[in-house]
Amino acid sequence: MTILPLLVHDESIVETKAKVTITNLRSEACRMTTAMFCEATFLRGLEGFKSTFLKIS
């Protein structure tokens, strides 16, 4: 009879670990996406700055 609660307990631990892993992966993906987006925006801004600067000079 004591085996059943242990199994249920282990299952909930696995489920919690899975949720934590998914959350970590999601936040990691968000961070990477944001970083790439920022870099792309920065490079686009840099190109804009260069072309504007070249027009002025």
Question: Mean pLDDT across the stretch 7-31?
Answer: 73
Rounded to two decimals, the pTM is 0.39
What's the rounded Cα separation, in Å, for the pair 44 and 28? Answer: 24
Q: Name the residue with higher pLDDT: 7 or 55.
A: 55
pLDDT at position 11 is 65
Query: pLDDT higher for 8 or 35?
Result: 35
49 pLDDT band (50/70/90 cuts)?
confident
Cα 29–chain centre separation = 2
Name the residue ranges covered by the structural domains of the chain: 31-57
Q: Residue 2: what are its φ and ψ, rounded to 5°?
A: -80, -15
Which amino acid does the sequence have at 3? I
The runs of H, that is alpha helices, within the chain are 3-56
